Amino acid sequence: MASLASLVTRFVDSERGAANILPLESVTAQAVAAVSFYAGFAELTNLDDGGEIGEGVDITVSEWAEIRPLFVLYVERETALQMEATRGLGADVFGRSSSEIGGDITQLEADMPRRVFFHPVITV
């Protein structure tokens, strides 16, 4: 189990390194958004009733396994939006467009309820 902040820091420092152009605050915001979406369909193990989802929330390994693909797509879309915004300055845009990534996000978000919803079976 790790805090969301430490998972984001590991992602920025170890997994993406120089390929990441977003500041840590933006990446953290995308992680919070992904965790919030996940929490709409599954109960977070370490979130108290009424607790807020933020960078301090603890995420289990299995929760991160479900959240991470959406988080990566959110970061990729935010990066694409930043790159597309520089097009007017003459910068050469590379990678997928934000609309292409948006399609993948829509598909993953639509599949999330089926993948993560759990309700224990009670027999009488």
Tokens of 54: 């933020």
CA distance 82 to 79: 5
Model confidence band, residue 117 (pLDDT cutoffs 50, 70, 90): confident
Query: Half-sphere exposure of 34 toward its Cβ, with a 13 Å CA cutoff?
Result: 29
Please provide the DSSP assignment of 12-52 as one string: IIIIIGGG--S-HHHHHHHHHHHHHHHHTTS--TT--TTPP
Name the pLDDT band for 98 (thresholds 50, 70, 90): very high
Residue spans of the domains in the chain: they are 2-116
- Say yes or no to pLDDT of 108 above 80: yes
pLDDT reported for residue 53: 93
Q: Which range scores top for mean pLDDT: 47-51, 84-88, 99-103?
A: 99-103
The half-sphere exposure of 7 on its side-chain side, counting CA atoms within 13 A, is 26
Tokens of 94: 């590379």
pTM assigned to the model: 0.90
List, for residues 46-60, the tens digit of each pLDDT value: 887 677 999 999 999
